Amino acid sequence: GDMFGSLKALPADPILGLLAKYRDDANPQKIDLGVGVYKDEAGHTAILDCVKKAEKYRHDNEDTKVYIGPTGSPLFNDEMSKLIFGNHKVLIENRARTVSTPGGTGALRVAAEFIKSCKAGATIWVSNPTWANHTGLFEAAGLTVKTYPYYDYENKTLDFDGMLAALKEVSSDDAVLLHACCHNPSGMDLTNEQWQQVAEVAKTVGFLPVVDMAYQGFGDGLDEDAYGLRLIADSVEEMIVCSSCSKNFGLYRERIGATTIIGSSANAADIANSVLLSVVRCIYSMPPAHGAALVETILNSDELRHQWYGELKEMRDRINGNRQLIVDKLIENGVTRDFSFITRQKGMFSFLGITPEQVQQLQDEYSIYMVGSSRMSIAGIANSNVDYLAQSIAKVL
């Protein structure tokens, strides 16, 4: 047969290409600001100590690898729903149903297939810009993707008026994707007052809010980062939250996340849950168990949970510290352009706001790697490289 003969090669993921170039670069001063994973001062993505301890515990205590079922681990799901919602009424009213998923990506795909079950060809609105994979995975699930204004590149801030105006015009049977915190790629988050306004529009218009929370605890704190989605849950009957344990537990390759569906009543949530389980069965049948086992072990132990809070805070403080550090160093190196917006943004990324030519020049002449949009991964900055980074930026400006 020649089924594959009709295929045309697709371009490689630009970030993976960047990573390969970085690896091959012999310059000892090279800096990777491309890939979106947390790194410590030494540029290493270490396994959290609480995870190491949980792994030891699992190793000593697990006695079966039998199937876990499409829901995944009920204990993990319960702990995740509390992490997301705290003591919110949606839990007290028994309106939340959570399934463990293969990472945040799996959570989003499950959500997309679930939305398709509600309405074939439904439209989902995503921010402009958004995480590159959002569009592809929603379209792959058969949804129509449209964008609402979000980042104002010119003024390096949120185009909140544009966003709100667009959300007022969406249809009541559309879905709207919102980033809970640490917006990828802009780092620009909504203020509490802006969340309040979005919650009001969600209620008036009646669209389905779908919240992607891939960085809970990386912005201002675990509860602070969930403030907006909890506010929305105050005022709407139905919503979906997709969360990831990749960043905040450093479990990237274990592939663990969760999809949480909020129904208008306990009974509606049960019906939605039955559809959710059927969606899971038809994609991957059951989620991987190991990452969930680690997370539930940590969250269930007072000692490990507190250790995790500390390790999470350390990652958060380092990222926020790096934001101030690079802005200070740019000033120190005579840069007069205002980069203070970087300190007002949150999470792993900011757009430096330089031209694609300048991005290329940083790469070719200074071995500094970021994606063409000038999105830089803040965790790649360290005390050991920040002077060189600031000097190099100063030279290409």
Q: Interface residues with ligand PMP (CB under 6 A)?
A: 36, 103-105, 131, 179, 184, 212, 214, 244, 246, 257
CB of 322 to ligand PMP, least distance (A): 18
* DSSP secondary structure letter of residue 48: P
Tell me which of 30, 156, 247, 346 is the catalytic residue: 247
CB nearer ligand PMP, residue 189 or residue 269 = 189
CB of 183 to ligand PMP, least distance (A): 8
Pairing of strands 375-377, 257-262: unpaired
Count Cβ atoms below 10 Å from residue 65 Cβ, excluding itself: 8
Residues 383, 388, 389: CA angle, nearest 5 degrees: 85
| Contact assessment for residue 210 and residue 177, using Cβ atoms and an 8 Å cutoff | yes
The Cα–Cα gap between 374 and 359 comes to 6
63 is catalytic: no
Residue indicated by tokens 């690896």: 23
User: Which single residue brings its beta carbon nearest to ligand PMP?
Assistant: 103
131 is catalytic: yes
Whole-angstrom CA distances from 317 to 38, 182, 220, 249, 311 are: 12, 14, 9, 15, 10
Task: List, in order, residues 6 or more apart from 149 with CB less than 8 Å away.
Answer: 128, 159, 162, 163, 165, 166
- Token code pair at residue 248: 């905040």
CB nearer ligand PMP, residue 51 or residue 386 = 51
CB nearer ligand PMP, residue 149 or residue 206 = 149
195 is catalytic: no
Tell me which of 39, 125, 131, 174 is the catalytic residue: 131
| Contact assessment for residue 250 and residue 51, using Cβ atoms and an 8 Å cutoff | yes
CB of 148 to ligand PMP, least distance (A): 16
Torsional sign, CA 318, 324, 328, 330: positive
CB nearer ligand PMP, residue 104 or residue 263 = 104
CB of 293 to ligand PMP, least distance (A): 17
* DSSP secondary structure letter of residue 264: S
* DSSP secondary structure letter of residue 89: H
Residues assigned a catalytic role: 131, 212, 247
